[in-house]
């Protein structure tokens, strides 16, 4: 099996876009090709992750149209759907195809245009659970992670207010990171938002809110309303438009195309079924074998990781992820957040991109977007959010109700 590397990456700015999914894909793909010193005719296959194109733009068979859009004529171009892990699984399949020698140069991408749908339609699209056994109860994704929060607090005997404070710190930290990321949907800290609310009240002659800091602001239900107890608005990631892309090649070819190829050191994947079958999801069980496969393939352990981009669709999800990846002990993740371990400059920097919470979460694009960020970190191209000396990073995506987990470990290949 050949070693596989990332040659170049591209990504649109996340947020609200007037561009179609194919236009966003093209922007990210052409940037990745330009970074790789390649042209569309050099691509032998294109794999694209997209979860809800059929609802968003009535476009399901997206791969062939995407290939045509950038001039990759007649190449294989399947679309992968695994909810939030869609482009992660597209990437894993591409890695295996190159490692086996079937292709030499491939383009992997992900794209989503969520903002075009109303909230009810997005809720329907992102169905949280089994369509016969669970969805008829009215369960939503915030509801699932609200339950996960209660289960986690119960399992480790944590007073809910203390856990909520740690979750608020996840949001504060990720917004601080996202404010430094020019590609992020929210390039603003929670303190900035708080000050804007104060300034607006003053301008309108209304009583000034009494918020001394971000924690005061997040405790105020008028500023941070309840979504699904105990999750409040700032515990939840946004709906996002965006695309990301990466060019993959065998390491020997990658070294000829770029002075800084990023090696795919290992990967893993796993799955789970119904929530009622999982019972206690205070631990995301499928993440553990997925991460183990990735670590074993790479010949590494969690202690070797310098930076991680994890699936923080909700603030509690980040805490569950850093434990499931072995970066912190089970039951210690929330304490690590309160200690500041996850900050840039901390013991184990998590989501220096801003994560799904601040960078944004265009579902089908998130997996490759995480690869984009880890590649940029390992190449030392992240400016004020750079993790000093980062040589090894891991990505983590979780599709559906803990149903599809994918992890990829990347390290410097030069």
Among residues 237, 313, 361, 382, the one annotated as catalytic is 361
Residues in the chain: 414
329 by Cβ neighbours in 10 Å (0-12 / 13-18 / 19+) ranks as exposed
Among residues 84, 236, 237, 313, the one annotated as catalytic is 84
361 is catalytic: yes
3-state secondary structure the chain: CCCEEEEEEEECCCECCCCCHHHHHHHHHHHHHHHCCCCHHHCCEEEEECCCHHHHCCCCCCHHHHHHHHCCCCCCCCEECECECHHHHHHHHHHHHHHCCCCCCEEEEEEEEHHHCCHHHHHHHCCCCCCCCCHHHCCCHHHHHHHHHHHHHHHCCCCHHHHHHHHHHHHHHHHHHHCCCCCCCCCCCHHHHHHHHHHHHHHCCCCCCCCCCHHHHHHCCCCCCEEECCEEHHHECCCCEEEEEEEEEEHHHHHHHCCCCEEEEEEEEEECCCHHHHCCCCCCCCHHHHHHHHHHHHCCCHHHCCEEECCCCEHHHHHHHHHHCCCCCCCCHHHHHHHCCCCCCCCCCECCCCHHHHCCCCHHHHHHHHHHHHHHHHCCCCHHHCCCCCCEEEEEEEECCCCEEEEEEEEECC
276 is catalytic: no
- Annotated catalytic residues are 84, 361
């Amino acid at each position: 099996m050949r070693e596989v590397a990332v040659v170049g990456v591209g990504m649109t700015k996340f947020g609200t876009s007037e561009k179609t999914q194919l236009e966003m894909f093209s922007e990210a793909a052409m940037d990745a090709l330009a970074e790789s010193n390649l042209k569309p005719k050099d691509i032998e296959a294109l794999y694209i992750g997209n979860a809800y194109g059929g609802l968003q733009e009535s476009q399901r068979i997206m791969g062939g149209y995407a290939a045509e859009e950038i001039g990759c004529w007649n190449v294989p171009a399947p679309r992968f759907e695994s909810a939030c892990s869609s482009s992660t699984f597209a990437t894993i399949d591409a890695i295996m195809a190159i490692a086996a020698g079937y292709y030499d140069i491939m383009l992997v991408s992900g794209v989503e245009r969520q903002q075009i749908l109303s909230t009810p339609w997005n809720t329907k699209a992102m169905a949280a659970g089994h369509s016969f056994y669970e969805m008829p109860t009215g369960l939503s994704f915030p509801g699932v992670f609200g339950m996960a929060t209660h289960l986690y607090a119960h399992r480790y005997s944590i007073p809910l207010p203390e856990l909520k404070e740690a979750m608020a710190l996840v949001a504060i930290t990720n917004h601080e990171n996202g404010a430094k990321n020019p590609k992020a949907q929210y390039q603003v800290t929670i303190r900035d938002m708080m000050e804007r609310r104060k300034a607006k009240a003053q301008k309108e002659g209304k009583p000034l809110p009494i918020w001394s800091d971000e924690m005061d602001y997040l405790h105020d239900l008028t500023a941070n309303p309840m979504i699904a107890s105990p999750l409040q608005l700032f515990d939840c990631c946004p709906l996002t438009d965006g695309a990301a892309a990466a060019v993959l090649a065998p390491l020997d070819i990658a070294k000829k195309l770029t002075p800084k190829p990023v090696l795919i050191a290992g990967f893993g994947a796993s799955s789970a079924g119904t929530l009622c079958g999982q019972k206690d999801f205070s631990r995301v069980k499928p993440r553990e074998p997925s991460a183990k496969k990735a670590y074993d393939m790479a010949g590494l352990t969690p202690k070797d990781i310098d930076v991680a981009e994890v699936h923080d669709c909700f603030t509690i999800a980040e805490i569950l992820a850093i434990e499931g990846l072995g970066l912190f002990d089970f039951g210690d993740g929330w304490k690590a957040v309160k200690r500041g371990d996850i900050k840039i400059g901390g013991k184990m920097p998590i989501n220096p991109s801003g994560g799904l919470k601040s960078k944004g979460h265009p579902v089908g694009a998130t997996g490759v977007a995480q690869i984009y960020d880890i590649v940029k970190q390992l190449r030392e191209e992240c400016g004020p959010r750079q993790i000093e000396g980062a040589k090894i990073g891991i990505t983590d995506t979780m599709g559906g109700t803990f149903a599809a987990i994918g992890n990829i470990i990347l390290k410097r290949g030069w």
